[in-house]
Structure 1
Amino acid sequence: MALSNKPSLLLAAAAAAAAQTTHDNCAKNKKVTVQNNCAHDVTLTLEPLANSPHLFEGKQYTLRPHSHAEFPVCWWTGRLHAPGAPTAEFHVGVDGGCFYMGSNVRAPGLAVPVVVSPHGNPLQGECPAVGCPVHGRCSVAQVPGGRCRNVQEMKVIYCSPGV
C-alpha cells in the first residue's frame, strides 16, 4: 500500500512546488495600459492567444476620449483590435521578455494611428516604440522576442488622425 501512495505523494509535492515557484517578475506590478488620445470613443476587442488570460471582462471594452485603462498582468499574449486602427499584437512574458508589433505604414483605410511602446525600469536590449504617431516618423513594424527585456508595462496608444 505504501508503494501505491508514493506516486500520489510525489504528484502532490510537485504541485506544491509549482505553486510556490511564482516568477519573481510577477510581483513587479506589471500591466498593459491602453490609452485613447482620440476625440471619440475607441472600442477594444481582445484576441487572446496561447491560453492567455483576458485583460478585461467581456468581449469588448470602450475607452472614452482622452482616457486610459490599466490592466494588471503577470504575462499576456494576443492581439488588440479597434475599429479604424491597425492591430496591435504583443507578448509580455513572466520573465519580462517581450515581443510586439504594429503597423508602421500610414494606410488610408485605417484612420486611427496606433503606437505600441514598452516601459521598464530600466528596459534592456532593443525596445523601440512601433507604429505610427500622428506627427513624426513611423517606426519599426516589430520587435522580435528576446530583443526587449525587463518590460513592466506595455502601452498601446490610439491617436486622433491629424491632431
Structure 2
Amino acid sequence: MAISKAQVALLVVVAMAAAAMTPASGAYNGCQQTRMVTVQNLCGHDLTLAEFPVANSGHLFGPGFVLRHGTHAEYHVCSWTGSVAAPDAAPVEFHVGPDGGAWYQVSNTQQGGSVRVTVTPHGRPLQGHCPAAGCRDHGQCFAHAVPGGNCHNVEELKIIYYAP
C-alpha cells in the first residue's frame, strides 16, 4: 500500500509534536511530575553560567548563558544530573530524580571567590535530611552536601548566587 504525501506530512507533524514533548532530561520518559531547577542571581553583576550535564541529562540553558543581576531562570526537568558553574563561584553538583529524590553538594568554604552560592531544596513536605548547602552573603555558611543523598520529595532545587 502506498503512502500519500498527506499521510507522510501528518506523520512528520506527529513526530515533531512527540519530540517537542520530550522532557528536558532526555533520558527518562516516565515522569509523573516534573521538577524545577531555579537559578537566581543576587551577586551584584551579571553572571555567565556554564553547565556540565552527565548521565544522559539534557541541557538546562546551553553554552554562554548570561543570568542578569536580580533575575532568575527556571528549568522544568524530569530528572537532571550534572553541575553548574559561574566565574569566581564554587561549582554546584546535583541530581534531581524523577521520583523527587535529590543529591547536591557545593563547598561551604567559599572564602576566596567574589561570588557565594547556595543550594536549597523545596518540597511540600521535604522528607529525609535536606539541608541548605554552601555560603550566602556576609559569611553565613551551611552544610556542603546531603549526607547519603537522603533528601526526598523535592519539587524544586534552588541555586542562588550572592555577593560576599
Normalising by structure 1, report the TM-score.
0.79
Note if contact 2:129-2:150 (Cα within 8 Å) is conserved in structure 1.
Answer: yes
Q: Unaligned regions of 5+ residues in structure 2, if any?
A: 1-28
Query: Given the alignment of the two structures, is residue 99 of structure 1 paired with residue 99 of structure 2, yes or no?
Result: no
In the alignment, the residues of structure 2 paired with residue 42 and residue 144 of structure 1 have an alpha-carbon distance, to the nearest angstrom, of: 29
Q: Classify 1:146/1:81 alpha carbon distance in 2 versus 1 (closer, same or farther; 3 Å).
A: closer
TM-fit CA distance, 1:61: 1.1
Residue number in structure 2 paired with 1:147: 150
> In structure 1, which of residues 125, 128, 133 is the aligned counterpart of residue 128 of structure 2?
125
The correspondence of residues 6-25 of structure 1 with structure 2, limited to 5 A, is 22-24=30-32
Residue number in structure 1 paired with 2:160: 157
Query: Given the alignment of the two structures, is residue 72 of structure 1 paired with residue 76 of structure 2, yes or no?
Result: yes
In the alignment, the residues of structure 2 paired with residue 104 and residue 93 of structure 1 have an alpha-carbon distance, to the nearest angstrom, of: 24
Give the root-mean-square deviation of aligned CA atoms: 1.4
Normalising by structure 2, report the TM-score.
0.78
Identity score, percent = 53
TM-fit CA distance, 1:23: 3.5
Q: Given residue 111 of structure 1, which amino acid in structure 2 is its aligned partner?
A: S
Q: SS at the partner of 1:135?
A: helix
TM-fit CA distance, 1:145: 4.8
In the alignment, the residues of structure 2 paired with residue 137 and residue 84 of structure 1 have an alpha-carbon distance, to the nearest angstrom, of: 17
TM-fit CA distance, 1:107: 2.5
Residue number in structure 1 paired with 2:19: none
> In structure 1, which of residues 34, 43, 58 is the aligned counterpart of residue 39 of structure 2?
34
In the alignment, the residues of structure 1 paired with residue 39 and residue 125 of structure 2 have an alpha-carbon distance, to the nearest angstrom, of: 21
TM-fit CA distance, 1:38: 1.6
Note if contact 2:35-2:96 (Cα within 8 Å) is conserved in structure 1.
Answer: no
Off by >6 Å, runs of 4+ in structure 1: none
Number of aligned residues: 136
Q: Given residue 137 of structure 1, which amino acid in structure 2 is its aligned partner?
A: Q
Q: Unaligned regions of 5+ residues in structure 1, if any?
A: 1-20
In the alignment, the residues of structure 1 paired with residue 146 and residue 74 of structure 2 have an alpha-carbon distance, to the nearest angstrom, of: 22
Query: Given the alignment of the two structures, is residue 53 of structure 1 paired with residue 53 of structure 2, yes or no?
Result: no
Note if contact 1:100-1:144 (Cα within 8 Å) is conserved in structure 2.
Answer: no
